[in-house]
Structure 1
């Protein structure tokens, strides 16, 4: 089993996430987001709110 840790701070659609890998940020609305992960990879994602089910697409 792998343990993961992260802390997210939300403010008006902007989310900053701190994890062991670093700091990432994203913006969007309920179910759809654009962002950059701590490794610098850009992505967009969409999902079904409050279910934990989502799809994520990374770009180079």
Structure 2
């Protein structure tokens, strides 16, 4: 497994993340996150707070 890099900034419900693959953006609403990954894939995700467990679906 190689090294990876990601830096993110949250502004309210919005997040912008910069990684070696590019820039991704997302929006959080009621525990769900909708966004576009740095490589251009659209997704939605849902996580369980304080556990690190989450589900993500790309479309």
Determine if the TM-score, normalized by the shorter chain, exceeds 0.5: yes
TM superposition shift of 1:39: 1.1
Distance 1:29 1:50 in 2: 17
1:37 matched to which residue of 2? Answer: 37
Moved over 2 A (4+): none
- 2: distance between equivalents of 1:48 and 1:30? 12
Taking structure 1 as the reference length, what is the TM-score of the superposition?
0.87
- Return the TM-score normalized by structure 2: 0.88
2:49 matches 1:49: yes
RMSD: 1.3
Structure 1 unmatched ranges of 5 or more: none
Q: Where in structure 2 are there 5+ consecutive unaligned residues? A: none
How many correspondences in the alignment? 59
The Cα shift of 1:30 comes to: 5.9
- 1:52 & 1:6 partners in 2: Cα distance? 17
Which whole-Å CA distance do the structure 2 matches of 1:14 and 1:27 have between them?
5
